[in-house]
């Protein structure tokens, strides 16, 4: 597949430079361009820091700003940021209240953020929240535990709003961990990912096939099956999500339909309407929805459905003001 790039080796750096220039009212490069941070830091607020490999844009840099992240560290395509990037972000954004690291549950991300926390423990108070929202959890999925996927946006938004209101490290960690059992996502791919380094798809699907339970690094899912209509695709995504969520009388359900990078808005909104109808048939009425392309896998054709059962307090955090390059209300 052809791409608009100069070289695979410079793609990430050049893309980040263009991103920062486009949103210079909100974000700046940190020291040595090792990370991107919020332009206006807030003294005495817990610094929220996240990151991961490139290829998931707008995650994570697109969510830097008031009400969400203070900094994001980006590695090469589908490659974790290095510990020194993360340490540099902590050193520059900790304004006195410590740092909360928001980490997707992938081995490389977890390992490098853990190493960074150990390296910086002598000069920062640090806590970590691991995001593990993937409903596609089974022996065929190559990860330890549930992967962190599109639900990462929900976690970063709630924690960002709580931090903006002055919540401390312990409270933020409790909020993130408390949400874990009430947040699930499930994805489908109609085409694999073409990685710039080798220009080959990570997995190949026939014209009449789809992959259910995919991750966001181009890895295959739980199983492959014949291509179905939109109604059946949405059912295959929503049913396991609902099956893994607990009953909750006072829930404020939040529905997120997320594109993987190669899916047009017309299909995402169609899927949202079908997901909403499926949930209503099963006694779940979404209180709020978000539809769009937020957590991608480069050019993968497909989408994911995320459902979060929020408490009234968490729902208020979701609705709280936010100003980032990607989310603003």
User: Distance between CA 284 and CA 300 in Å, rounded?
Assistant: 29
**Strands, DSSP E only, in the chain?**
27-29, 36-38, 47-54, 71-77, 99-104, 126-131, 183-191, 209-212, 223-226, 252-259, 288-292, 301-310
Q: Provide the terminal-to-terminal Cα distance of the chain, rounded to the nearest Å.
A: 36
Catalytic residue from among 23, 76, 217, 272 = 217
Please name the residue that has the structure tokens 């209180």: 287
Q: Phi and psi dihedrals of 174, rounded to 5?
A: -65, -40
Residue 227 structure tokens: 């291509």
Alpha-carbon distance of 84 to 95, in angstroms, equals: 19
Catalytic residue chosen out of the listed positions 56, 60, 76, 272:
56
Does the annotation mark 56 as catalytic? yes
Do the Cβ atoms of 214 and 189 come closer than 8 Å?
yes
Which residues are annotated as catalytic? 56, 217
């Amino acid at each position: 597949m052809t791409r608009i790039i100069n070289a695979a080796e410079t793609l990430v750096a050049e893309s980040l430079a263009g991103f920062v220039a486009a949103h210079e009212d909100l974000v700046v490069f940190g020291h040595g361009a090792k990370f991107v941070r919020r332009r206006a830091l807030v003294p005495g607020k817990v610094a929220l820091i996240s990151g991961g490999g490139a290829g998931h844009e707008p995650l994570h840099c697109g969510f830097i700003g008031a009400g969400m992240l203070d900094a994001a560290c980006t590695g090469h395509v589908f490659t974790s940021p290095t510990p020194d990037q993360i340490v540099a972000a902590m050193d520059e954004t900790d304004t006195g209240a410590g740092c909360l690291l928001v980490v997707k549950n992938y081995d490389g991300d977890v390992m490098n953020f853990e190493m960074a926390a150990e390296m910086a423990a002598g000069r920062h108070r640090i806590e970590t929240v691991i995001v593990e929202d993937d409903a596609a959890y089974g022996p065929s999925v190559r990860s330890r535990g549930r992967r962190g996927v599109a639900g990462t946006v929900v976690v970063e938004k709630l924690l960002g709003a709580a931090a903006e209101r002055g919540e401390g490290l312990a409270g933020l960690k409790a909020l993130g961990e408390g949400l874990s059992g009430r947040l699930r996502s499930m994805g489908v791919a109609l085409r694999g990912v073409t990685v710039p380094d080798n220009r080959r798809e990570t997995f190949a699907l026939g014209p009449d096939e789809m992959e259910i339970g995919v991750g966001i690094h181009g890895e295959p899912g739980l199983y492959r099956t014949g291509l179905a209509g939109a109604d059946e695709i949405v059912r295959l995504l929503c049913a396991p999500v609902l099956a893994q969520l607990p009953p909750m009388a006072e829930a404020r359900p939040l529905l997120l339909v997320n594109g993987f990078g190669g899916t047009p808005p017309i299909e995402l909104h169609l899927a949202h309407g079908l997901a909403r109808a499926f949930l209503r048939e099963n006694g779940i009425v979404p209180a709020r929805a978000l539809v769009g392309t937020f957590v991608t896998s480069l050019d993968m054709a497909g989408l994911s459905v995320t459902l979060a059962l929020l408490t009234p307090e968490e729902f208020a955090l979701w609705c709280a003001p936010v100003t980032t390059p990607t989310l603003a209300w």
